[in-house]
Amino acid sequence: MNAYLAEVARFSEDDVPLENGDGVGITELQRGLIREMRQRLHSRLDPRLHNDRFLNRFLLAENYDLDKGAAMLERHLQWRQKHDLDQPIDQLLARVRPGLREWIPAPALGGEDENGYPVFWDLPGCLDVAGIQKACTVEEVVQYHGMIFMEYVYSVLTQQIQKHGRYIDKMVVVQDLTGFGLRSHRPLTTFLGEVTQCRNANYPQILKTMVVINAPRVIDVAWNLVKPFLRERTRRKIQILRGTGADRWFQGCMDRKNVPRRFGGFADDPVPPTAVPESAYLHRHLCEEDMENIVIARGSSHTLSYDVEAGDIVTWFFRLPSKDINFGIRDKASQTWLLPLARQQTEHRPALGTLNIVKPGIIEVVFDNTYSYMTGKSVLLRITVSSPDKTLEDSTKHTRPEPQPQKSASATATATAAPAAPASQAFMGHPSWLLDFEGGDCPGHLARV
């Protein structure tokens, strides 16, 4: 992104006035908020890159709420540093797991519209939903779609500015929903929600227009339910077109040489996703010799305790052959949940993740089955606690702890209440791809779904 920020820094307000998102120049009050935001974050900002236009994006994303906008920008800068994103795009793409870019590809660049804005083509209806569930983790999909792809978009915007010699700060997305269904693609809701949340938090106000074509009728129903909750400027950016409407849009906004052949143009069609091979399914890579098997009786829970130091990383990897289990991590002394209990369904995709430890003590890893009065559960698991400043071979401190005795449902009732569903599952029928790239442009939880 830094190359893009350096490129746009040469455009003064005389060249391109700052806007408030509605095509109107910012007010003096909003300009004052930008100045105050700069004063608050001056120690973290690079004046060569982080000009008023950059700050305005984050304020606009939070509807010019200074406290929220400043907090959002500060989190973004910390996030960029944590993930070391100021690297050439080729190096970032090298981080992506082999195969992932073919199984669940990011929207493909395909030409530009009449004003030079790059156009990306997406084919979500062609995804191998079952295979993605079994082979991909949420974390690696978020890394690719929510992080590295967005850095690629900024590299394309930089090229477009250099090509046309004018300010270009947004992209156009065309989504062909042939084959898409809310029910068939529902298993990917968590993926979509987390990717959207990452994009909203770190790449706000980057969408110029989203054109949805070949959408099933149920999309209209979902859109009509969501639309009243969106701000007008967001609604204007989204068009659901059919038949001649799509044809007119292509003819009026794009040169036919940039339109794929499948849509009546002369350009090559986007490459569709490939099926995920069974050899890539995560459960096939479980090494049972290195894993523990625990049996949790019906109506009970199972707790594993670990001594931890500040800076340690807890890593878990587990799978149930069938059914589900509540999983969480808490501090033993305070009984505070470090990772709130949440239901895990691992029949198709193992549960895995990490937790960074902030302060020393004892943690308890909890597998909770108190909600199941009829069925016991068998869990194949591997949990490690490691120190990042040591080599992997030397850093593993605990892999097979002595489990504590199982506790009855009554003994753990106060600690096993499951939390509310995450925002990404708040509305399972919600077409979350329609809200991508808008930051806080949508009110409430919809901005983060």
What DSSP string describes 169-190? --EEEEEE-TT--TTTTGGGHH
pLDDT at 360: 92
Pair of tokens at residue 15: 């060249």
Evaluate if residue 274 carries a pLDDT over 90.
yes
| CA dihedral (45, 51, 57, 60) positive or negative | positive
Distance (Å) of CA 39 to CA 13, 33, 203, 390: 20, 10, 22, 39
The one-character DSSP state at 307 is: E
Closest CA to 327 of 351, 348, 293, 305: 351
Write the pLDDT tens digit of every residue in 304-323. 999 999 888 888 888 888 88
Evaluate if residue 277 carries a pLDDT over 90.
yes
Q: Are 42 and 77 in contact (CB under 8 A)?
A: no
Tell me phi and psi for residue 64, to 5 degrees: 60, 35
Choice among 214-218, 281-285, 341-345 with the minimum mean pLDDT = 281-285
pLDDT at 287: 63
First to last CA, the chain: 24
Rounded CA separation 186/68 (Å): 32
Rounded CA separation 376/398 (Å): 26
pLDDT at 286: 61
Q: Which stretch of DSSP H or E encloses residue 218?
A: helix 217-226
Task: Return mean pLDDT, the chain.
Answer: 83
Strand partners, 327: 342, 367
Domain spans, the chain = 2-83, 89-279+424-448, 298-405
Strands 351-356 and 337-345: unpaired
Q: Are 367 and 292 in contact (CB under 8 A)?
A: no
Evaluate if residue 147 carries a pLDDT over 90.
yes
Distance of alpha carbon 117 from its chain centroid, rounded?
24
Angle at which helices 52-61 and 66-83 pack, to 10 degrees? 110
Pick the CATH number of 298-405 from 3.40.640.10, 3.40.50.300, 3.40.50.620, 2.60.120.680: 2.60.120.680
Q: Which fold has domain 2-83?
A: Helicase, Ruva Protein; domain 3 (1.10.8)
Q: Which fold has domain 89-279+424-448?
A: Phosphatidylinositol Transfer Protein Sec14p (3.40.525)
Rounded CA separation 59/53 (Å): 10
Please state the pTM of the whole predicted model.
0.72
